[in-house]
Amino acid sequence: MTQENIMLSIKGVNKSFGGLKALSEVSLDVHKNTIYGLIGPNGAGKTTFFNVITGLYEPDSGEFILNGKHYEPTAVHEVAKAGIARTFQNIRLFGEMTALENVMVGRHVRTKGSVLGSIFRTKTVRKEEADIKEKAMELLEYVGIGQYHDYVARNLAYGIQRRLEIARALATEPKLLALDEPAAGMNSTEKLELTQLLRRISNDGTTILIIEHDVKLIMSLCNEMTVLDYGKILAQGTPEQVRENPAVIEAYIGGAKE
């Protein structure tokens, strides 16, 4: 594929914590409108890599290109403006807000109203707020939880909270949706429904990068993937290529690292 077909291009990422080399020359290309998986044994560097891409950790080195434009992952809000939204392994909703309010918070990244306009509640601001509420409701319907719009987030079932996080991330209108173990803690039915939702999101034009421990799920879901081990690339390719790679088989059968 050509460079125009690449949504996210990461080159030569390195990250150390003191004397520990957490990431060593990690590179990958995520093509547009695909689902790209990131897997590896525990402690392999997957979450560190995610945190670097999304601005939680500043890399020691590396090149970051999103949709053909360089971006600097030095702050979470700047990365969100660039067009990357993420969810976390541990759900980070605003527990005392309703589901609708949580999604509206995400939508505010794309607002244009001024501070003075917000203070004086101008016509423009009121119109924008109405639009935000309408779009937030549409997103709740889109992920299949519209009926819970007025529920306080902390009172929602676990699987619904996961979907709510995805809706809030989508509210930022991301070019790339980065999901950190979205199926963690889900039962088989919830995992199937999640898989269907992620395929729909991808088909509707949002590129997805996903970390997931459920190898069966990610193998069935992803177009391409990278396997990390000790912060280095162990394998890259299609699920079929990765599944048959002897180094990958050894890394998993040889026992997960803590």
Average pLDDT over residues 150-166: 94
Rounded Cα gap, residues 191 and 126, in angstroms: 39
The more confidently predicted of residues 85 and 215 is 85
Work out whether the CA dihedral 243, 246, 247, 251 comes out positive or negative. positive
The more confidently predicted of residues 82 and 127 is 82
Q: Provide CB contacts within 8 A for 240, sequence distance 6+.
A: none
How far from 109 is each of 35, 99, 169, 226, CA to CA, in Å? 24, 17, 10, 30
Query: Given this model, what pLDDT does residue 256 score?
Result: 45
Average pLDDT over residues 97-121: 69
Instruction: Examine the pLDDT at 258 and tell me if it is beyond 80.
Output: no
Here the tokens at position 150 are 């007025």
Instruction: Examine the pLDDT at 94 and tell me if it is beyond 60.
Output: yes
Instruction: Examine the pLDDT at 57 and tell me if it is beyond 50.
Output: yes
Average pLDDT over residues 58-62: 95
The more confidently predicted of residues 123 and 177 is 177
Query: Given this model, what pLDDT does residue 116 score?
Result: 41
Query: Given this model, what pLDDT does residue 240 score?
Result: 94
Cite the beta strand spans of the chain per DSSP E: 6-17, 20-31, 35-39, 61-66, 69-70, 84-86, 176-180, 207-211, 224-229, 232-237
CA angle 68, 223, 251 (to 5 degrees): 110
Instruction: Examine the pLDDT at 117 and tell me if it is beyond 90.
Output: no
- Tell me which of 113-117, 148-152, 249-253 is least confident: 113-117
Query: Given this model, what pLDDT does residue 23 score?
Result: 97
Average pLDDT over residues 121-147: 87
How far from 141 is each of 112, 196, 246, 255, CA to CA, in Å? 25, 15, 43, 41
Q: Where does the pLDDT of residue 130 fall: very low under 50, low under 70, confident under 90, or very high at 90 and above?
A: confident
Query: Given this model, what pLDDT does residue 252 score?
Result: 72
Mean pLDDT of all residues in the chain?
Answer: 88
Query: Given this model, what pLDDT does residue 204 score?
Result: 96
